[in-house]
């Protein structure tokens, strides 16, 4: 594909520092590249400071989110195994944990000596991956556009609402995104698989992506297609490319292979079951493949990750670039099967984005941040498109739109700008409600979803929400102590569906305060299974529970659970008052009745 005079392709070549440039030109080029790097460093410094301040204001000492509670337990158990039992037990703990990618818990457990063993120390690890993501986005863009456009791309990725949200939540989405973006950067640096060293780096980052999140396996076909696009580059010989491809595959296998081989069965069951089996059922009914809803379900989720302003800005970039190319009657696709290394790199990003969208479309499971790993590539493509417009005024306008939207997004999520933090949404035909601005973090939306008032998005949560984790500690600590006194293992089941007091938080509390893995099961319910018979069956299998917690729920009827418990020989032994004032009861399977009592928070040990 030939560049038109004055196009971004030629401008990109001009900013490269070459040995043939005059001393003055080379000095100016070097100064600008360094300035661009300094700008990105400033963007990272400012946004990183905002993230840390937000974490201090909104997360320090407060409750944990449902899923992140379980993930934090992983990192705590890793650290406890290393600290208490040595390196071999640590390796077995990390490698033997099934289903969930081990990268983030591993990194976190190694960071605890510096950041502190606990909830807040865990949260402080995510901003480190955030820094890596922004750096990788800049480096990837720099291979395709000028330094100034690469700065715009880095800022846009840094400000993406979903990136901000997952930089403040202990989930696997951001580490997977950082690693996958770095993998795409290494692929582009391989220069059409000419460079073996960068092919090996590509393999390392692909392996880390797979270790960061097991659902990233779904993106492997896109990465394979992206690598295949490099074979369309004219040189070097295919033999050289195959050798470098083997280096990449070998590096990925060395990094991720041992863990995947050891846990292959559980990973397969998790991906298939959660993506297409019973695990996908809670996300709605199956839609016909010919329906509008089938093909736009993922689009609605992606719009929620981007928010409408950024989505519109990217749409403008693509739309204006397409109109400009058509107006100049410029060929959009090459006439032959041979591409330049740059064209093959752009095609690689297109293939990754398209495959990611299609594979997520095929599953009803909406997950948490599933699309995030390929959204930075979409942003980079938008910047590449905008930079290709020949008219300078239009390019400046598009860049300005991206910058303004990004700065507004950062301000909206900063926790300091109430007008931009207000929850706003618009209804789009065929897509439903789409977010415009929302300054809340995911932890705040979870508290709202549980029915609690949180106040303004720019203010920390009410003090009551500092007491949920200590309350979980009191309940699980008392239960473990009672089981020990009775000389029996604790098989605890949570018998009500409360969005804040969950089994994952009880498990976290046991590991955090008592350095112990304490499994906690929970009763499942649906309109058809909210029956005494169903709850009896669940309390008997797969293991007979000997402790049960009942309380106020949404879909689980407390009376039916307690009836099932009594029929199996359970008796109420202790009542605790939750932070919101409502009570829960601990029931125990035993041969004799025991005296009950009401215990406030902190008195149940």
What is the pLDDT confidence band of residue 595, given thresholds at 50, 70 and 90?
very low
**Angle at CA of residue 423, ends 420 and 429, nearest 5°:** 115
Residue 553 confidence (pLDDT)? 84
Q: Strand, coil or helix: what is 339?
A: strand
Range of lowest pLDDT (37-51, 130-144, 197-211, 540-554): 540-554
Those residues with Cβ within 8 angstroms of residue 177's Cβ, 6 or more apart along the chain or in another chain: 129, 133, 163, 166, 369, 372, 373, 375, 376
CA distance 77 to 454: 32
CA distance 605 to 507: 17
DSSP code, position 233: B
Per-residue pLDDT tens for 302-359? 999 999 999 999 999 999 999 998 887 666 556 556 788 899 999 999 999 999 999 9
Range of lowest pLDDT (182-186, 289-293, 311-315): 289-293
What is the pLDDT confidence band of residue 277, given thresholds at 50, 70 and 90?
low
Q: Where do the CATH 3.40.50 domains begin and end in the chain?
A: 467-599
Compute, in degrees rounded to 10, the torsion defined by CA atoms 475, 479, 481, 484.
Answer: -170
What is the pLDDT confidence band of residue 234, given thresholds at 50, 70 and 90?
confident
Residue 273 confidence (pLDDT)? 81
Helix, strand and coil in the chain, % to nearest 5: 65, 5, 30
Residue 280 confidence (pLDDT)? 62
- Residue written as token pair 């499971």: 365
Per-residue pLDDT tens for 38-84? 999 999 999 999 999 999 999 999 999 999 999 999 999 999 999 99
What is each CA distance from 442 to 68, 162, 164, 423, 529, in whole angstroms?
11, 10, 10, 13, 30
- Minimal CA–CA distance to 54: which of 103, 122, 124, 141? 124
Residue 510 confidence (pLDDT)? 97
Range of lowest pLDDT (22-36, 106-120, 128-142, 186-200): 22-36
Segment 156-165 mean pLDDT: 98
Per-residue pLDDT tens for 381-392? 999 999 999 999
Cα of 119 vs its chain's centroid, Å: 18
Q: How many residues does the chain have?
A: 605
Q: Strand, coil or helix: what is 262?
A: helix
CA distance 134 to 181: 9
Put simply, whether the predicted model's pTM sits higher than 0.85 gets the answer: yes
Q: Is the pLDDT of residue 24 over 80?
A: no
What is the pLDDT confidence band of residue 501, given thresholds at 50, 70 and 90?
very high
Q: Are 586 and 576 in contact (CB under 8 A)?
A: yes
Share of the chain above pLDDT 90, in %: 77
| Residue 108 exposed, middle or buried by CB count within 10 Å (0-12, 13-18, 19+) | buried
Residue 320 confidence (pLDDT)? 95
Residue 562 confidence (pLDDT)? 95
Q: Is the pLDDT of residue 154 over 70?
A: yes
Region of 383 (left: φ > 0; alpha: ψ -120 to 50; beta: rest) is: alpha
Would you tell me which CATH number, out of the four given (3.40.50, 1.10.287, 2.60.120, 1.20.1280), belongs to the domain 467-599? 3.40.50
Per-residue pLDDT tens for 118-148? 999 999 999 999 999 999 999 999 999 999 9
């Amino acid at each position: 594909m030939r560049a038109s005079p004055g196009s971004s392709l030629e401008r990109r070549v001009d900013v490269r520092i070459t040995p043939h440039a005059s001393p003055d030109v080379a000095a100016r080029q070097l100064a600008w590249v360094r300035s661009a790097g300094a700008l990105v460093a400033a963007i990272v410094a400012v946004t990183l400071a905002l993230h840390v301040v937000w974490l201090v204001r909104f997360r320090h000492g407060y409750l944990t989110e449902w899923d992140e509670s379980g993930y934090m337990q992983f990192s705590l158990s890793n650290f406890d195994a290393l600290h208490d039992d040595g390196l071999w037990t640590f390796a077995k703990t990390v490698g033997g944990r099934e289903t969930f990618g081990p990268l983030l818990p591993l990194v976190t457990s190694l960071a605890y000596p510096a950041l502190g063993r606990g909830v807040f120390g865990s949260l402080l690890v995510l901003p480190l991956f955030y820094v890596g993501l922004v750096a990788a986005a800049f480096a990837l863009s720099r291979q395709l556009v000028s330094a100034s456009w690469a700065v715009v791309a880095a800022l846009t990725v840094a400000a993406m609402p979903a990136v901000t949200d997952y930089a403040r939540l202990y989930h696997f989405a951001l580490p997977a995104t950082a690693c996958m973006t770095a993998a795409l950067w290494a692929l582009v640096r391989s220069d059409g698989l000419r460079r073996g060293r960068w092919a090996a780096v590509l393999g390392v980052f692909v392996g880390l992506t797979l270790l960061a999140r097991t659902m990233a396996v779904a993106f492997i076909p896109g990465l394979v297609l992206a690598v295949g696009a490099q074979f369309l580059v004219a040189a070097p010989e295919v033999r050289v490319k195959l050798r470098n491809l083997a280096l990449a595959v070998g590096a990925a296998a060395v990094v991720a292979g041992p863990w995947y081989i050891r846990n292959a069965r559980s990973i397969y069951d998790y991906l298939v079951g959660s993506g297409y089996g019973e695990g996908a059922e809670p996300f709605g009914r199956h839609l016909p493949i010919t329906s509008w809803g089938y093909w736009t379900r993922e689009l609605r989720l992606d719009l929620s990750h981007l928010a409408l302003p950024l989505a519109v800005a990217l749409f403008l970039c693509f739309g204006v670039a397409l109109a400009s190319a058509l107006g100049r009657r410029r060929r959009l696709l090459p006439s032959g099967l041979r591409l330049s290394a740059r064209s093959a790199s752009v095609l690689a990003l297109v293939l990754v984005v398209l495959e990611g969208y299609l594979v997520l479309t095929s599953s009803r499971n909406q997950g948490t941040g599933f699309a995030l790993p390929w959204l930075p590539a979409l942003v980079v493509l938008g910047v590449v498109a905008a930079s290709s417009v020949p008219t300078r005024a239009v390019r400046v306008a598009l860049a300005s739109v991206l910058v303004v939207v990004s700065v507004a997004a950062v301000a909206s999520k900063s926790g300091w700008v109430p007008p931009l933090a207000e929850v706003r949404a618009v209804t789009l035909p065929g897509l439903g409600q789409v977010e415009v601005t929302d300054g809340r973090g995911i932890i705040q939306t979870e508290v709202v979803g549980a029915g609690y008032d949180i106040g303004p998005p720019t203010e920390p949560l009410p003090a009551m929400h500092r007491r949920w984790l200590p309350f979980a500690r009191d309940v699980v600590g008392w239960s473990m102590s009672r089981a020990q006194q009775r000389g029996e293992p604790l098989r605890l089941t949570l018998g009500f569906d409360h969005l804040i007091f969950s089994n994952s938080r009880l498990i976290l509390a046991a590991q955090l305060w008592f350095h112990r893995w304490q499994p906690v099961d929970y009763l499942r319910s649906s309109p058809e299974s909210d029956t005494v018979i169903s709850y009896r069956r669940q309390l008997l299998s797969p293991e007979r529970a000997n402790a049960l917690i009942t309380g106020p729920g949404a879909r689980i009827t407390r009376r039916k659970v307690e009836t099932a418990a009594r029929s199996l020989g359970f008796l109420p032994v202790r009542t605790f008052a939750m932070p919101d004032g409502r009570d829960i009861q601990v029931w125990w399977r035993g041969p004799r009745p025991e005296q009950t009592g009401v215990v406030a928070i902190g008195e149940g040990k």
